Amino acid sequence: MEIEIATIGGYEEVGRQMTAVRAGDDVVVFDMGLNLSKVLIHDNVETERMHSLDLIDMGAIPDDRVMSELEGDVKAIVPTHGHLDHIGAISKLAHRYDAPIVATPFTIELVKQQIKGEEKFGVQNDLVKMEAGGRMAIGDENELEFVNVTHSIIDAINPVLHTPEGAIVYGLDKRMDHDPVLGDPIDMERFREIGREGVLCYIEDCTNAGKKGRTPSESVARRHLKDVMYSLEDYDGGIVATTFSSHIARVKSLVEFADDIGRQPVLLGRSMEKYSGTAERLDFVDFPDDLGMYGHRKSVDRTFKRIMNEGKENFLPIVTGHQGEPRAMLTRMGRGETPYDIEDGDKVIFSARVIPEPTNEGQRYQSEKLLRMQGARIYDEIHVSGHLREEGHYEMLDALQPENVIPAHQDMQGFAPYVDLAEQFGLEVGETLHVTRNGNMIQLVE
């Protein structure tokens, strides 16, 4: 059976991930993501109303025109998890394909919301839920399987396409977490099994491949966060926390430790409400019944007023703004634009790291400066990454023993340390180790 892989997007950058695998006549598309930074550099761009081609020209969404070179029919579009760089282009591209979108329940729900917000295109693809561990036929000879993985968002999987020529493992994005706070540990046993069955190709996320050691478990971040929050138990002023709003496990820890130190947690900001609300509705997390979540400006302001009235010392607002985004809640609090007064000695907890890029670093710096001007004390970098480091990659390669490897989710500089590693497993650049770019086609079996 002919096996071909089109590396459409996310092979020269992080963002706008998209990969298509053809096995005989069947094609499966993995991820359709958005590179938000390519949008934000322009003033006043609203993606909701833009046409795909303009977004492709901007480098914001994958240039899927290469798909025309791929024979066969698209049988499924498979986003691996709900981050924007994996689902953000679905509303712009999926309608071109007569195929269902297959994903885990939480991801499907986020895709649904994405589609609802779209104003240019009507996206009518079927939305099919499949749980981690599930399997689905793709044409007559191939089968799609979801293997449970752990990432900085819940319900993440690595899809595996089983073909007569061996398995194609699409490895974006994951951390090897045996104690992930929320959800099941990574299913290494299944990966090892698949490795024994035979892996034709492994496509892997190289984000942290150049960092030594292993990415700590979410439970390490949780222990760290607990240490910080418990140390503030006696503080009788305001404490505010921020984190990635899609990071439900972290939000859960914040909520629990707030309770432990005698504060009522409240989630504030549109994306806080969206992700945590969705997770709760789908029963992925069990928040306290009275946990407030407010997204609209008015209800947020009303909540802040209530907090000020009832005493800041009784609350833990968990807000958006961990990267210092100019319009996020925390930045607005720093500018004094909300009814919440930050006073001398008040604490601000960043359970996040700055994404290392000068624009972010500048904005985060400004945000912290504004907060400090009002007297805030800063606790930052209480976080662990969602991506494998060097030794996680080593273990994965050891488990899968793939015949071919395609480094992904980075530019070439990011691939480099992964290539060094993969060569230690006998893979050879130009032969079985495919250093590729956006828009390329790799023929594995002729």
Known binding-site residues for Zn(2+) equal: 81, 83, 85-86, 151, 173, 409
Phi, psi of 204, rounded to the nearest 5 degrees: -130, 145
Q: Is 419 in the site for a second copy (CB under 8 A)?
A: yes
User: Looking at beta carbons only, is 48 or 230 nearer to a second copy?
Assistant: 230
Q: Which range in 71-79, 107-115, 130-138, 217-225 contacts a second copy by CB under 8 A?
A: 217-225
Phi, psi at 422, each rounded to 5°: -65, -35
* Nearer of residues 162 and 322 to a second copy, judged by Cβ: 322
The reply to whether 412 sits near a second copy by the rule CB under 8 A is yes
- Told to check if 241 binds a second copy by CB under 8 A, we report no
Residues contacting a second copy: total by CB under 8 A: 60
The alpha helices in 101-176, defined as continuous H runs, are 105-117
What region does 286 belong to: left with phi over 0, alpha with psi -120 to 50, or beta? beta
Min CB(193)–a second copy separation in Å: 14
* Full DSSP string of 242-299: EE-TT-HHHHHHHHHHHHHTT-EEEEESHHHHHHHHHHHHTTSS---TT-EEE-SHHH
- How buried is residue 111: exposed, middle or buried, by Cβ count under 10 Å (0-12/13-18/19+)? buried
230 touching a second copy, by CB under 8 A: yes
Residue 408 phi, psi (nearest 5): -145, 180
Does 356 help bind a second copy (rule: CB under 8 A)?
no
| Choice between 87 and 221, CB closer to a second copy | 221
Smallest distance, Å, CB 421 to a second copy? 10
User: CA distances (Å), 35 to each of 10, 18, 40, 84, 251, in order?
Assistant: 9, 11, 9, 8, 25
Tally of CB atoms within 10 A around 230: 12
Strand partners for 203: 170, 406
CB of 14 to a second copy, least distance (A): 14
Q: Does 41 bind a second copy (CB under 8 A)?
A: yes
Which positions touch a second copy (CB under 8 A)? 41, 43, 176, 178-179, 212-214, 216-217, 219-220, 223-224, 227-228, 230-231, 335, 345, 357-366, 369-370, 373, 377-382, 390-391, 394-395, 398, 411-413, 415-417, 419-420, 423, 428-430, 435-437, 440
